[in-house]
Chains A and B, each alone.
Chain A
Amino acid sequence: MSIEAKSETMNRNLLEETYDVVVVGAGHAGCEAALACARLGLETILFTVSVDSIALMPCNPNIGGSSKGHLVREIDALGGQMGINIDKTFIQSKMLNKSKGPAVHSLRAQADKANYSMEMRKTLQNTEHLTIRQAEVSEILTEDIAGASVLKKRITGVRTVSGATYHCRAAVLCTGTYLRARCLTGEMITYTGPNGLQAANHLTDSLLANGVEMFRFKTGTPARIDKRSIDFSKMEEQKGDERVVPFSFTTNPKDVQIDQVSCWLTYTNERTHEIIRNNLDRSPIYAGIIEGTGPRYCPSIEDKVVKFADKDRHQIFIEPEGINTNEMYIGGMSSSLPEDVQHEMYRTLPGLENAKIVRNAYAIEYDCINPNQLYASLEFKKIKGLFSGGQFNGSSGYEEAASQGLIAGINAAMEILGREPLILDRSEAYIGVLIDDLVTKENYEPYRMMTSRAEYRLLLRQDNADLRLTKKGYEIGLISKERYDWVCKKEEMIQKEIERVAKVHVGANREVQALLESYGSIPLNTGVTLTELIRRPELDYDKLASIDKERPELPEEVTEQVNILIKYDGYISRQIKQVESFKKLEKKKIPENFNYDEVPSLRIEARQKLKTYNPISIGQASRISGVSPADISVLLVYMEQMKYHGKTEEKQ
């Protein structure tokens, strides 16, 4: 029975309420979206199928990691919650890639899952203007916008499965993996969301009825094993960093120097692989039962064994799920093989010989959208006031979800407040890269952030996320004046110190030569500036302290920036130059109702793609596959012509 029919014949529920913003789903995206809206003073209601599953981490027990750590930092600099929440609830932390360049340093923390969820719930519950409601939203309510040149709707509210109506001015959909979800463990199929939670089976129909194009993706998670059944003596211990760096710029570093728990490393072997190979016909993926598209970067163990047949072993990380649980996450071994095969397979690993599984591994399939239906503001192009974020947009990962949730929430608020949307571009933030990739590129698998996707990554470091984004967060209204002032002051100190250091001349005296020698650095023949010495690979700002007599007392976060900006100046300047030319195209805005059919000489493929994506700028248009540089030239010339005719104006 369709929703419409049901609501006409059966809906006698007269409950009606009105809010500014409705947020559907209380996962990592939904939490950020709801908090942003409520903190900006808008009456916000957050729907979840289960209040107990707020900010649930149904897969890996960590936050951050390569490039994802960057996202968390950026969320924090914009006034989001994820960084603060993990700082309160982590049980181990590591800065990854510390031996590599600063652009790829990435924080990753093991979370106490239950604590993480509880802390976020506390924060939500103590936020003014925010209402939490346990209910399944089954319908979005829209109306046609009269007089629009192309058919366009406007969101007016949502309806729950029980028939209650919630009117709103904007809505944010963050349904995660719950839409028409089904979980698979071998032949065993259950129609539930993650962790056996109730799926949301109705909203998809309502979206389809409103002209939204849906995709079906899949992902998976490994088994959880009882800690008491594991022999850790056969594994390598993985400890956290001695000195922990917090995620949030607001967290006092002293507060995160806690006793940490360990993770453990073990390996699969030929016997593991043999069991997997022998049972491939019982894998729902290989048997063709799964219809969704899975991520290549997060392959199941059966995928790894098949695709990388030449590897005789795979690393497996055993990670605690929290302090108050004895469940251990078996990182690297997600699977959808049947239960009996799983038992056999996990027990081939050194240390897991007697393993007792608490929860089985499973694959999960769910509905999501083709994100090319969104603007970079994360608003639906065809439904005004409807925004979306997270796995619903075809991404994967808690951090990717939270990033989008924050932006979608902010922009829902901006729209209601009649302000310009917050759109971060590829040169400003990983969040910008993430959203631009989602809405501009063709995406056929759950999208995961990677540092290699950020072409200006030397500028988008995790260490300077505050310098890049705090001002924007302040303008939006999510960052305090105090925090804003500090960032301005920090910027000034960095600049001053770089200028000072460039003027410090170092002579070839005995003290200097001795210092250089102690670091294996070539002695001086003639005087140089301190800047030149800092650039030497074997030296840095801190190491030269003793010969820098006039050095002022500066906070570490300032000297860190000074060191990086001086050391990698060549590369950084090059990227800044590239960004300048990139920005020029981003600034050439294409009017919303631009008619591509009127542009002569556009190739047919380009015309079709441009009509589908409806890019907001020439820059975005140039990144759509199938649109050539010549097409872009044609567009530019045509737009210039329009400008002369006074049809539009270029927003600079």
Chain B
Amino acid sequence: MRTDTIAAIATAMAGSGIGVVRISGEDAVSITEKIFRMPGGKTFSEMPTHTIHYGHICDGDEVIDEVVVLLMRAPRSYTREDTVEIDCHGGVYVMKRILETVIKYGARCAEPGEFTKRAFLNGRIDLSQAESVIDVIQAKNEFALKSSLKQLSGSLSDAVKEIRGEILHEIAFIESALDDPEHISLDGYPEKLSGIVSDAAKKVEKLLSTSDNGRILTEGISTVIVGKPNAGKSSLLNTLVGEERAIVTDIAGTTRDVLEEQINLNGILLNIIDTAGIRETEDVVEKIGVDKAKKYLGDADLIIYVVDASTKLDENDYEIMELLAGRQAIVLLNKSDLETLTTGEDILKCVDKITGNADEDITGNLNKKDSALKNKERQNYRIISVSAREQTGMEELEEAIREMFLTGEISFNDEVYITNVRHKAALQEALSGLHLVEKSIEDGMPEDFYSIDLMNAYEALGSIIGEAVEDDLVNEIFSKFCMGK
């Protein structure tokens, strides 16, 4: 059907080392050429099919990532169209930036299941798979729709609706005047419209600027803070929240459990999950039971384990660390301003014991274990000394989270980010539509051209909140403007 060029992140956004952004369609190669800088000034479009190339993905002067690019020309590709796969570092941020860049240079976000659909329609997939293709399309679409709406914060959706309403009103006015020029005059209207459009453009720009730091969606890394009573969890939380650059918002309508605090660390959004009293009782394990704690930990993208470094590790710590086994966590040795009774090495030894990698077991017998395995388990923990009271170590904590995020060590719900990219692309499109109107007014183009670009902006905004155009315009014309015989 459509042969326009589509793009998507092909790998799960989970913490694999490598991420793949896939582009398929007529312009896949030319788009890639615009953003892919190869050493020695080679030209990507001249490369033969089924070759692999090293280079950098750039958006103008900005270098986004060091990548390896696979070129597969039609028909010898999954979709039987020209296909380019950009293998990048697996971090969510990097993949998202690359996808955004690909879209900026002319591709469109693939619809759910669209690669598979194209593969099928181009005869690539066996017939026996047709039914499952159909199911995938419906299921993915429903999921994407649900998650898109779910991710959309009420405030964004309200803002989009408001801008759309304003745009529609203007289109309806122009169209009424075109339809009934003897009743409705457009004299002096372009000047008025110019103001309205630049206001609307400013609003869209504002939405775009906030989309990067995560406020646009209730996206973010779900973060659980654990620790035994009095380890200093609440003061840590307050420290994080209390910082000027942190943003705290009330999020309504999420289906996760109570989600109280949202913190923005240098553009990375943490949703701190307050497990019904993490601060009041200071004791997750005791209060809500091991099972529930396990569930929270299981769902978490990031675990911050707060240890009171001024006391010895005790049974509470062992219990928590058993729950953490096999997971990645940041361990904060809090109260580093006091006398240190627990060190990083103590923690790691404890990890060894729990994972059965200790040099000596609990009974003191020597164990010969695979040191590689031991190191692997140990690497799940990043240990940072902090003092919530003195506010030291916070920068290292931020840096650690940031690094884990960018390298993809932190995994989280990928649909959210896809949705975000889509929304951003739609906002961009709306914005460029509005800018075109401004330009048309400036150039003295006739009024009927304004409504064409306004309509594009209106449609783009509609795709964010899942509303099609249908008969909106005709209804608006008839309800707002008095026309006719």
Q: Identify the A interface with B (CB < 8 A).
A: 59-60, 66-67, 96-97, 99-101, 103-104, 222, 238, 296-299, 304, 307-308, 311, 314-315, 317, 331-332, 334, 441, 450-453, 457-458, 537-538, 568, 571, 581, 584-585, 588, 600-601, 603, 618, 625, 628-630, 633-634, 636-638, 640-641, 644-645
Give CA–CA (A304, B131) in the complex, Å. Answer: 55
Give CA–CA (A638, B179) in the complex, Å. Answer: 42
Contact A60 B485, beta carbon cutoff 8 Å? yes
Contact B181 A66, beta carbon cutoff 8 Å? yes
Interface membership of B133, Cβ < 8 A = yes
Give CA–CA (A332, B482) in the complex, Å. Answer: 10
Contact A332 B484, beta carbon cutoff 8 Å? yes
Please give, as numbers and ranges, the residues of chain A lying within 8 Å of B447 by CB-CB distance: 100-101
**Which residues of chain B from 108 to 138 have a CB within 8 Å of any chain A CB?**
111-113, 117, 120-121, 127, 130-131, 133-135, 137-138
Give CA–CA (A641, B464) in the complex, Å. Answer: 32
Q: A299-B482, A581-B2, A637-B134 are in contact. Are A103 and B127 (CB under 8 A)?
A: no
Interface membership of B446, Cβ < 8 A = yes
Contact B138 A452, beta carbon cutoff 8 Å? no
Given contacts A299-B484, A452-B473, A452-B474, 14 further A-B contacts (CB under 8 A): A97-B448, A100-B446, A104-B448, A296-B479, A297-B478, A308-B482, A311-B482, A458-B452, A537-B445, A584-B3, A600-B135, A633-B117, A634-B138, A637-B133
Give CA–CA (A636, B449) in the complex, Å. Answer: 34
- Other-chain contact of B449, A299, A571, A603, A641 (Cβ < 8 Å): A571
Contact A298 B484, beta carbon cutoff 8 Å? yes
Contact A581 B117, beta carbon cutoff 8 Å? no
Interface membership of B12, Cβ < 8 A = no
Contact B178 A452, beta carbon cutoff 8 Å? yes
Please give, as numbers and ranges, the residues of chain B lying within 8 Å of A66 by CB-CB distance: 178-181
Contact B179 A628, beta carbon cutoff 8 Å? no
Interface membership of B291, Cβ < 8 A = no
Please give, as numbers and ranges, the residues of chain A lying within 8 Å of B445 by CB-CB distance: 101, 537
Give CA–CA (A584, B121) in the complex, Å. Answer: 13
Q: A101-B448, A299-B482, A641-B127 are in contact. Are A441 and B471 (CB under 8 A)?
A: yes
- Other-chain contact of A601, B138, B178, B183 (Cβ < 8 Å): B138
Contact A640 B111, beta carbon cutoff 8 Å? no
Please name the residue on chain A nearest to B484 by beta carbon. Answer: A298
Interface membership of B280, Cβ < 8 A = no
Interface membership of B1, Cβ < 8 A = yes
Give CA–CA (A625, B472) in the complex, Å. Answer: 13
Interface membership of B483, Cβ < 8 A = yes
B468 → chain A, closest Cβ, in Å?
A: 8
- Other-chain contact of A641, B130, B138, B178 (Cβ < 8 Å): B130
A-B contact pairs, 26 of them (CB 8 A): A66-B178, A67-B179, A97-B178, A100-B178, A100-B181, A100-B446, A101-B446, A101-B449, A297-B478, A297-B484, A304-B482, A307-B482, A315-B182, A441-B471, A450-B474, A452-B477, A568-B449, A588-B1, A628-B141, A630-B112, A630-B137, A633-B111, A633-B113, A636-B1, A637-B120, A638-B130
Interface membership of B444, Cβ < 8 A = yes
Could you count the A-B residue pairs with CB atoms below 8 Å apart for me: how many are there? 135
Contact A625 B470, beta carbon cutoff 8 Å? yes
Interface membership of B61, Cβ < 8 A = no
Give CA–CA (A60, B181) in the complex, Å. Answer: 17
Please give, as numbers and ranges, the residues of chain A lying within 8 Å of B112 by CB-CB distance: 630
Q: A-side binding surface: helix, strand, loop or mixed?
A: loop
- Other-chain contact of A450, B111, B138, B175, B444 (Cβ < 8 Å): B175
Give CA–CA (A99, B111) in the complex, Å. Answer: 42
Please name the residue on chain B nearest to A300 by beta carbon. Answer: B485
Please give, as numbers and ranges, the residues of chain B lying within 8 Å of A60 by CB-CB distance: 485
Question: B1-20 CB contact bits vs A (8 Å, 1 = yes)?
Answer: 11110000000000000000
Chain B: how many interface residues by the 8 Å CB criterion?
A: 49
Please give, as numbers and ranges, the residues of chain A lying within 8 Å of B446 by CB-CB distance: 99-101, 104
- Other-chain contact of A537, B182, B444, B471 (Cβ < 8 Å): B444
Q: Identify the B interface with A (CB < 8 A).
A: 1-4, 111-113, 117, 120-121, 127, 130-131, 133-135, 137-138, 141-142, 171, 175, 178-183, 186, 443-449, 451-452, 470-471, 473-474, 477-479, 482-485
Please name the residue on chain A nearest to B138 by beta carbon. Answer: A601
Contact A571 B452, beta carbon cutoff 8 Å? yes
Give CA–CA (A7, B171) in the complex, Å. Answer: 56
Give CA–CA (A205, B130) in the complex, Å. Answer: 47
- Other-chain contact of A104, B131, B178, B443, B470 (Cβ < 8 Å): B178
B377 → chain A, closest Cβ, in Å?
A: 44
Give CA–CA (A96, B443) in the complex, Å. Answer: 22
Quick one: which of A99, A308, A601 has the most chain B CB within 10 A? Answer: A601
- Other-chain contact of A452, B135, B179, B449 (Cβ < 8 Å): B179
Please give, as numbers and ranges, the residues of chain B lying within 8 Å of A307 by CB-CB distance: 482
- Other-chain contact of B127, A59, A450, A451, A644 (Cβ < 8 Å): A644
Give CA–CA (A538, B442) in the complex, Å. Answer: 12
Please give, as numbers and ranges, the residues of chain B lying within 8 Å of A568 by CB-CB distance: 449
Contact A451 B1, beta carbon cutoff 8 Å? no
Please give, as numbers and ranges, the residues of chain B lying within 8 Å of A641 by CB-CB distance: 127, 130
B169 → chain A, closest Cβ, in Å?
A: 14
Contact B181 A96, beta carbon cutoff 8 Å? yes
Give CA–CA (A644, B121) in the complex, Å. Answer: 11
B3 → chain A, closest Cβ, in Å?
A: 8
Contact A637 B181, beta carbon cutoff 8 Å? no
Please name the residue on chain B nearest to A629 by beta carbon. Answer: B111
A349 → chain B, closest Cβ, in Å?
A: 15
Please give, as numbers and ranges, the residues of chain B lying within 8 Å of A629 by CB-CB distance: 111, 141
Please give, as numbers and ranges, the residues of chain A lying within 8 Å of B471 by CB-CB distance: 441
Give CA–CA (A106, B343) in the complex, Å. Answer: 84
Contact B482 A636, beta carbon cutoff 8 Å? no
Contact A452 B451, beta carbon cutoff 8 Å? yes
Contact B485 A634, beta carbon cutoff 8 Å? no
Quick one: which of B120, B186, B474 has the most chain A CB within 10 A? Answer: B474
Please name the residue on chain A nearest to B127 by beta carbon. Answer: A644
Q: A317-B182, A571-B449 are in contact. Are A222 and B485 (CB under 8 A)?
A: yes
Please name the residue on chain A nearest to B444 by beta carbon. Answer: A537
Q: A103-B448, A538-B444 are in contact. Are A637 and B130 (CB under 8 A)?
A: yes
